[in-house]
Amino acid sequence: MAKYDFDMFTIGAGSGGVASSRRAGTYGARVGICEDSRVGGTCVIRGCVPKKLLVYGAQFADAFADAAAYGWTAAPPVHDWASLIAAKNKEIGRLEGVYHKLLKDSGVKLIEGRGRLVDPHTVEIDGERYTAANILVATGAHPVLPAIPGIEHAITSNEALDLAALPRRIVIVGGSYIAVEFAGIFHSLGAEVTLACRRDELLGGFDDDVRVTLAQELRTRGIAIRARTDITRIDKRDHGCDLATAKGETLSADLVMYATGRRPNTRGIGLEEAGVRLNASGAVTIDTWSRSAVPHIYAVGDVTDRLNLTPVAIAEGRALAETLFNDNPVEMDHANVPTAVFSQPPVATVGMTERAARQAVGAVDIYRTQFRPMKHTLSGREERTMMKLVVDRRSDRVLGCHMVGADAPEIIQGLAIAVKCGATKRQFDQTVGIHPTTAEEFVTLRDKVPEPKAQAAAS
């Protein structure tokens, strides 16, 4: 008779938890998984997927605006927000059904309800207890709101995906990728958008040229950016809300959305009582094998606050299943993970920023270009693309690729393979481009950007 009910029990049926559980199940492990919300987690239900569907919907605004320059004649378009939300909800429902089937087909037992650790080998769900040789914590994270007066009048990205109507004016507080993505969605669909962020620039942690370029493009589109703006209170008014700033100013809007950070879902599920250590932000502390302070309790995805990206959570989860149940130890490699921001225009990047590269290797060569895409030569749209390579001067290895512009995520995904393989600038130069495309610029960059000191001296 088996010592435990399961070989692995997973708390949380998001991307990482489902990926790990499914793979473990295909290797013959007895796997259970619990979820107190909808199967699919943040990405499928209230994150990447529904947001990208809204981005697609918003992008038609540019297509309609540019069509006349290419000979199209059409009546002025009218957008129906409710129809878009209904279509999005239908697709999310379909995907949730797919996730249920994937778990079932892999032999994973789904138990609906909130899981809580009773001891290092036992999970309790609605009064029922289940034991497991290994426990995986994959509970994700949630948006957080600051403790300021009137914060109850603000929404987060969760609520933004299900608004009954499109706001006429919205203030989005924050400069994160979530903030700029929703700014593009709401603006393109007709709302007046203001981004209020505490820092000097948007997208903290991204390359400086990316941050500056995106801010310029958003302003060109008509999105107001209020940098170095700290909101101190929100007052509900007949017209909507007034936001008071630390500078004594007032911003008015019909709706206020906060995108100022997320916190791991670790409270109230018995982790610390079971001996699992959490860091200052409440994330599960783990080693490179996703193992917590308790040897047979593991954690993957946003609950660890490492690289909070869906494909990373999936890769971490699969690596764990390989290690535990396929006699194939896999240590997750977090280096050179590509990422994208589905702003308008989009951003994509892989590898080191210029600042990080200078700190890591010292001398670097920078190749950068900005240009008006061919598509806009007829439409007259004032939108420019920025592309940048960061190269180790000593080894000639390409350390980072950065882009702001149409199709950036699709282009950088391909370049990520080259960066992961350690490609050199010479190999980029030897690659023949596809003409005419935007992507070919990455293999035709020849002129180095002057060193910062030389630029300063010239000015």
Residue whose C-alpha is closest to residue 251's, from 193, 202, 198, 201: 193
CB 437 within 8 A of CB 418: no
Contact 282, 264 (CB under 8 A): yes
d(CA 324, CA 64): 52
Q: Is 142 a known active-site residue?
A: no
Looking up tokens 């297509």, which residue turns up? 63
**CB atoms inside a 10 Å sphere around CB 31:** 29
Rounded Cα–Cα distance for residues 64 and 414 (Å): 29
End-to-end CA distance of the chain: 79
d(CA 404, CA 385): 6
Which residue of the set 153, 239, 402, 435 is catalytic? 435
Cα within 13 Å of Cα(274), Cβ side: 27
- Compute how many other C-beta atoms are within 10 angstroms of the C-beta atom of residue 236: 12
DSSP codes joined into one string, 200-213: SSSSTTS-HHHHHH
310 φ, ψ (degrees, to nearest 5): -55, -50
Nearest to 169 by CA among 154, 155, 187: 187
Catalytic residues: 435
